[in-house]
Amino acid sequence: MSFVSFGSVGVFQVVNKFLPYYKTHLAPQKNDLFAKTLVYGLLALMTSGFILYCFRSDILGFLNNSPELLKYIHLFPIFAFGYFSHYLMSAFCIGYQEIIYNALIQDVFVRIYNTVLIVFYMFKIIDYEALMIWLSFQYWVAAALVFGRLYLKDLFGLYGIVAQLQVDFIKKMIQYVSVY
């Protein structure tokens, strides 16, 4: 989890700090904060993934005592990106005062999802390999549910062009800094 924490450093804080400003000055469909945080977070996640890749021999050497973990290590990037996506969606949910829905998904849905998968495994409906694959997608499903809620409530769109608000904001910052 420290991999995802390092990869998403600052994303939650940026959303909580700048989302109120964006909400008051931009229509939800023109809000580009989601696209920016997604791109910057993915770059940070890929950077931390690259660092892990560089030290893979040390990490895999440390994990040699756990053959099951080594067998399913290929699912880690899927799980990590899903967890990051859910983390990002949670930040937006809190910023848009959808805290109850986010808590419902995070605390209730994920637990029910895991419980159902474990019951399926216990009754031999799925095998262990399928259980691990489905568990690696648990946060993808949670993030999709939160995104769907925010999208259906028309709280934001997928706007990838840099908003004029950011250009104006940067100009004001440069003017302010140039005075000092």
Q: For residue range 78-123, list pLDDT tens digits in order.
A: 888 888 888 889 888 888 888 899 999 989 999 999 999 999 999 9
DSSP states of 35-72: HHHHHHHHHHHHHHHHHHHHTHHHHHHHGGG-HHHHHT
What pLDDT does residue 140 have?
94
Residue 168 vs residue 34, higher pLDDT: 34
What pLDDT does residue 160 have?
58
Q: Computed over its alpha carbons, how large is the radius of gyration of the chain?
A: 20
Lowest mean pLDDT segment, chosen from 141-145, 156-160, 173-177: 156-160
> Amino acid identity, residue 154?
D
Q: How far apart are CA 117 and CA 115, in angstroms?
A: 5
Q: Are 98 and 149 in contact (CB under 8 A)?
A: yes
The CA-atom distances, in angstroms, between 174 and each of 33, 122, 136, 139, 179 are: 20, 61, 44, 40, 9
Instruction: Supply the mean pLDDT for the chain.
Output: 82
- Residue showing tokens 């999802």: 113
Q: How far is residue 15 CA from its own chain's centroid?
A: 12
What pLDDT does residue 25 have?
79
Of all residues in the chain, the percent with pLDDT exceeding 70 is: 87
Residue 171 vs residue 140, higher pLDDT: 140
Q: Are 120 and 131 in contact (CB under 8 A)?
A: yes
- Of 42, 141, 133, the residue nearest 82 (C-alpha): 141
Q: Is the pLDDT of residue 180 over 60?
A: no
Size of the chain, expressed as the number of residues it contains: 180
